[in-house]
Copies of this chain bind each other. A is one copy, B any other.
Amino acid sequence: MSNVRVLPVLEPEMEPCCPPLDERPLTAEEAERTAVMFKALGDPVRLRLFSSVASHEGGEACVCDISDVGVSQPTVSHHLRKLKEAGLLSSERRGTWVYYRVEPTVLAAMGALLAKAASA
């Protein structure tokens, strides 16, 4: 019998919220929600960690998989939690480790926001 329990993937608190950036000025509330996501990717170390998770085999990674960004494991954990709080990663504990995975719907929404604005 396995003692590994598979916990449900946590839903991100942040939903894709907003129209393409070139459709109309964002409201204050929309801007608050969306800026959180951009800000999370606005740090070089966090962005490298995000791409490490996104490019890892199976699209998920734990702190134990990431050793080449040149920051300590507690710092890696801290940044991964920040990315999760921003709704960009979801997480699942399996045994000792928490595995992080890219949250595709939120990312696709951010991409669409920008790509639509780019074709204006």
Contacts and interface: CB of A to CB of B under 8 A. Distances in A.
In the complex this chain forms, how many copies of it are found? 2
Contacts of A102: 22, 117-118, 120
Q: Is the interface of A mostly helix, strand, loop or mixed?
A: helix
Contacts of A112: 111, 115
Q: Is the interface on chain A under 10, 10 to 19, 20 to 34, or 35 or more residues? A: 35 or more
A115 B118 CA distance: 13
B115 A107 contact: yes
Contacts of A55: 21-25, 120
Interface of A: 21-28, 31-32, 34-36, 38-48, 50-52, 54-55, 59, 68-70, 102, 104-105, 107-108, 110-120
